[in-house]
Amino acid sequence: MNDSWQRMLKILEKCLKPGIFQVWIKPLQADFKGQELILEAPNEFVASWVRERLKGHILEAAKEVLGLAPKISICSSKKAPEKMPLNLGRAKVKEQLGLPIHTSVPKTTINFRYSFDNFVVGPCNELAFVASKTFCSQSISSDQLFLCSGPGLGKTHLVQAVGKELSSECNRSNVRIAYLTAEEFACHLIMAIKSKQIEQFKARFRDNIDILLLEDIHFFQGKEKMQNEFLSTIKSLQNQGKKVVFSSTFLPRELDGVDGHLVSRLCQGFLAVIEKPDFETRVKIVHNKARSFQVSIPEEVGELLAEKIQNDVRQLESCLQNLIFKAKLLKERISLDLAWQVLKNYGLEEQTFDLKKIIQFVAGAFDLPVEALSSKSRKKQCVLARNTAFYLARKYTDHSLKEIGQQFNRRHSTVLKGIANVEREISKQTPLGRQLAKIIERLEQ
C-alpha cells in the first residue's frame, strides 16, 4: 500500500503549490488499515493545519488512486509542547545554571560557547563590542549593560563573552553567574509562587548570584507581576554592587506594555545596538569562521558568500559550514562552483525584499489570500502567517514597527509581540518553531 501513497503524493505535488506540498504534505507518513488511511505528522501543529486545510485534497487524491473514498485520520507523532513552557524552561535552566531550585550553591559553572576572542569586530558592532569588553573591567563603575540587535547578529555571542570573561577574571573570588532567558526567569517565578516558595526564589536570584545575564527581556511585555519581580531583582542586585546584562531584539523605548519605571531602569548603564554587518565585516566573519574549522577559503569564495547573505550572521556561518562539509564529503576543493551549489539552499539577498513581496510569499506559503493577513481574522493560520510576515519585514526591510503595523492594520505593539513569538518558538526549537523556521527558510529561498 506504500506504492498507493507514493502515487497520491505525485498527484498532490501537481495540484498544490510547491511550498505547500514541501512544508505540509511531504513530512507526512502514511499507513493503511483496511479502508482507513492514517497519516502521521511530525507534530500536532502540522497535523492540525493539514486537517483544516488539506484533508479535502488528500481525499480527492485517494479517490483517484484507490477508486474509493477512504476514511482519513491525521494524527501527530508527538504533541507540540506549546502549552508547556514551564517544563521546557525548568529543564534548560537546570542544565545552564546547574542550580537546584531550592538549594544555595556557592559557585555556578556554565560552559559559555562564545568569547571575545572569536567575535569579529566591524563598524556595525564596534560600540557593542567595546561596551561589553569595557563592562568586564574592574575599573568601570557601570553595573548594567543592555545589548540590542536583530536575530542572528551577535547579541547572544557578546552576552556569553561577558559571562566567560567575568567568570575567568573573577575565578579566584568564586564568582556566581546566572545565565538564562526572560521566559525561563518567569517560569521559575511561577513555580515559586505555586509552591509558595517565593522567598527561596528571591534568595536564589538576589543573594546567591553575583552576575545576572538575562536574554530576550522583551518577553516581559504585558506581564505586570513578572515585571515587578524583575525590577525588584535588578534593584536588589545593583544595591549590592552586583552586575546585570540584558539582551533584546528591541530597544527599551520600543517595548510595549512595560512599566515606565522598568523602562527607565533598562535605559541606565551601557546601551549598545548591533547593526547589520557591512560587506567587509561579513568577509572577515567568513574567514574567521573558516579558520575555526582549520580551513582556508579562497578570497573570491569568501566575497561571494558575504555578498549573497547580508542580513544574518548566523545564516552566513551556516552556509560556510555546509560548504566546508560538502567539500570534505565530496573530497573536492572549495571553489566558486561549489559555493554556488550551497548558496542555492539559502536566501540570496541580491533580491530586494519589500513588504509587498514578503506579504505575497507568506500568503502563498500558508495558502491564504493576501487580504487575510490584514483582515481581523484571529484564526490560528492567519495569526501565524501574520506574525511570520512581521518577522520577515523587521528582518529584511528598514520599516519601523509602526510602518509595518500600518500595512497590516495593526498597532506597533501587536507587531512587536508577533515578532517576539516567532523568535521565541524558533530559538527554543519547538515543533512549531522548527516548522516556522522551515517556512521562513523557504520564503528566503
Position 168 scores a pLDDT of 78
pTM: 0.58
Higher-confidence position of 429 and 422: 422
Instruction: Report the SS3 class of residue 114.
Output: coil
pLDDT tier for residue 88 given thresholds of 50, 70 and 90: very low
> Which of 134-138, 223-227, 350-354, 394-398 ranks highest by mean pLDDT?
223-227
Q: What is the mean pLDDT of the chain?
A: 83
Position 77 scores a pLDDT of 72
pLDDT in tens, 6-21: 989 989 988 887 667 8
pLDDT in tens, 208-249: 999 999 999 999 988 888 999 999 999 999 888 899 999 999
pLDDT tier for residue 320 given thresholds of 50, 70 and 90: very high
Cα separation, 222 vs 120, whole angstroms: 36
CB 52 within 8 A of CB 381: yes
Nearest to 145 by CA among 137, 413, 236, 209: 137
Position 98 scores a pLDDT of 32
Position 79 scores a pLDDT of 43
pLDDT in tens, 26-58: 889 998 888 889 999 887 777 887 888 889 899
What structural domains and CATH numbers belong to the chain?
Answer: 2-76 (3.30.300.180), 85-274 (3.40.50.300), 279-343 (1.10.8.60), 355-444 (1.10.1750.10)
77, with CB counted inside 10 A (0-12, 13-18, 19+), is: middle
